[in-house]
């Protein structure tokens, strides 16, 4: 048998998926490891997708997506994110993960380096390998509230550095980068002439009102990644989009043609209904997450367990170093087997996550509190 490509061999395993797959084989597990909203999708979104199937809207669409959806995204960005784009700057993708891969394909060449947050979403370090690039982790420290420090970034820049990846609100941390921090990071990128890939998938899940889109500050160098998965509970529908600076439309369409051709048409019509229809379900979901967060914090505070207060997303970053003894991945597997509770080990998000776990609070309140009550106290 021929050898596999070395590119495939360099893509690291996901520690989150390992826990998820182990948990699937066990009865009676409380699942807190995966970022999956449990609230039902709004009926008007489901109806739009079903109607598209019924009328046989199953043909190819433009590589970049149906025009009504891209026009709705233009309106949404101007209204909610504060910056103006043309429909040609938008590429509809199969989820935020594909938008992230498209951004890296446009920005990176083999051998290029990209600065990625540590702790950070596992795909940030996986996807660059697929284009032959090298992820270089910049550490996020507990003593700084897990906010990027310019001194750390400056120390990592080399002639091969071509991009900076930022994520706000953050998965797994829940941190939200304020405008002043965002300006500092974008000024750093400008000094070193770097592309900025800004993952803003959790944009509507910001609880303190401090969310800032990077493209409002540096539109000429920012590739913005978005998704409908978390906002509208459409994780399996796989609809996201990449917003790129002017002048990249042709290259983006070519990459889309070579990788996905286009997103399935019914999902695009469902996405259009999500953006243009009532937003009550989004408000209800945010209220549910905030209530879950308040209940979870009260329980953790009462038990004396340290955690990072999230400003957005729907994750709690919890310190279990008193129990994990330097190997939080092994501890999370043991915790799963003994307590039947699945949590994501912090080391799955990078070496700086050692000693921490990520817990999703997007589901029902009772299982969340049940799982947190099983955590060992210091």
* CATH for 285: 3.90.1150.10
pLDDT for position 18: 84
Give the domain-ending residue among 251, 276, 301.
Answer: 276
Mean pLDDT of 355-374: 97
Q: Per-residue confidence at 20, pLDDT binned at 50, 70, 90?
A: confident
Mean pLDDT of 86-91: 98
295 and 330 both lie in a single domain? yes
Residue 372 · residue 139 · CB < 8 Å: no
Cβ contacts of 302 within 8 Å, gap of 6 or more: none
Residue 46 lies in a domain: no
Mean pLDDT of 1-17: 81
115 and 151 both lie in a single domain? yes
136 and 223 both lie in a single domain? yes
Determine what percent of the chain is predicted with pLDDT higher than 90: 91
CA distance linking residue 144 with residue 134, whole number of Å: 26
208 and 96 both lie in a single domain? yes
Give the domain-ending residue among 221, 247, 276.
Answer: 276
244 and 310 both lie in a single domain? no
Which has the closest alpha carbon to 86: 95, 94, 75, 96? 75
Residue 218 lies in a domain: yes
Residue 179 lies in a domain: yes
Cβ contacts of 255 within 8 Å, gap of 6 or more: 102, 105, 106
146 and 295 both lie in a single domain? no
Summarize pLDDT for 138-183 with one digit per residue, the tens. 999 999 999 999 999 999 999 999 999 999 999 999 999 999 999 9
Distance of CA 76 to the CA centre of its chain: 19
Kindly report the average pLDDT of the chain as a whole number.
96
123 and 33 both lie in a single domain? no
Residue 177 lies in a domain: yes
For the chain, what is the domain count? 2
Residue 270 lies in a domain: yes
Summarize pLDDT for 258-303 with one digit per residue, the tens. 999 999 999 999 999 999 999 999 999 999 999 999 999 999 999 9
98: domain range?
59-276
258 and 157 both lie in a single domain? yes
As a whole number of Å, the CA-based R_g of the chain is 20
Q: Per-residue confidence at 233, pLDDT binned at 50, 70, 90?
A: very high
Q: Is the pLDDT of residue 12 over 80?
A: no
Q: Is the pLDDT of residue 316 over 90?
A: yes
Q: Per-residue confidence at 8, pLDDT binned at 50, 70, 90?
A: confident
72 and 102 both lie in a single domain? yes
């Amino acid at each position: 048998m021929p050898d596999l490509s070395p590119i495939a061999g360099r893509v690291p395993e996901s520690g989150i998926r390992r826990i998820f797959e182990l948990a699937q084989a066990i009865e009676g597990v409380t699942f807190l490891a995966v970022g999956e909203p449990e609230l039902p999708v709004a009926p008007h979104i489901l109806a739009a997708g079903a109607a598209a199937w019924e009328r046989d809207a199953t043909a190819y669409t433009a590589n970049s997506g149906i025009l009504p959806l891209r026009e709705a995204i233009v309106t949404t960005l101007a209204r909610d994110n504060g910056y103006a784009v043309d429909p040609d700057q938008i590429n509809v993708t199969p989820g935020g993960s594909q938008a992230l891969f498209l951004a890296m394909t446009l920005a990176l060449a083999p051998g290029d380096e990209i600065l990625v947050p540590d702790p950070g979403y596992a795909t940030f370090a996986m996807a660059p390998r697929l284009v032959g690039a090298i992820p270089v982790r910049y550490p996020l420290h507990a003593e700084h509230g897990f906010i990027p420090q310019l001194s750390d970034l400056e120390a990592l820049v080399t002639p091969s550095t071509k991009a900076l990846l930022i994520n706000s609100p953050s998965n797994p941390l829940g941190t939200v980068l304020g405008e002043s921090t965002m300006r500092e990071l974008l000024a750093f990128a400008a000094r070193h002439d770097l592309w900025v890939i800004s993952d803003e998938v959790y944009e509507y899940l910001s609880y303190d009102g401090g969310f800032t889109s990077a493209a409002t500050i540096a539109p000429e160098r920012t590739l913005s990644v978005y998704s409908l998965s978390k906002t509208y509970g459409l994780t399996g529908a796989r609809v996201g989009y990449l917003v790129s600076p002017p002048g990249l439309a042709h290259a983006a369409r070519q990459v889309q043609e070579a990788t996905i051709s286009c997103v399935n048409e019914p999902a695009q019509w469902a996405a259009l209904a999500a953006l243009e229809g009532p937003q009550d379900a989004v408000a209800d979901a945010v209220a549910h997450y905030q209530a879950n967060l308040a209940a979870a914090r009260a329980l953790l505070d009462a038990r004396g367990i340290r955690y990072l207060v999230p400003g957005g997303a729907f994750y709690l970053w919890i310190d279990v170093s008193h129990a994990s003894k330097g190997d939080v991945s092994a501890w999370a597997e043991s915790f799963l087997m003994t307590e039947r509770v699945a949590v994501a080990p912090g080391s799955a998000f990078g070496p700086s996550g050692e000693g921490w776990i990520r817990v999703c609070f997007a589901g029902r309140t009772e299982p969340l509190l049940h799982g947190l009550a099983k955590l060992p106290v210091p």
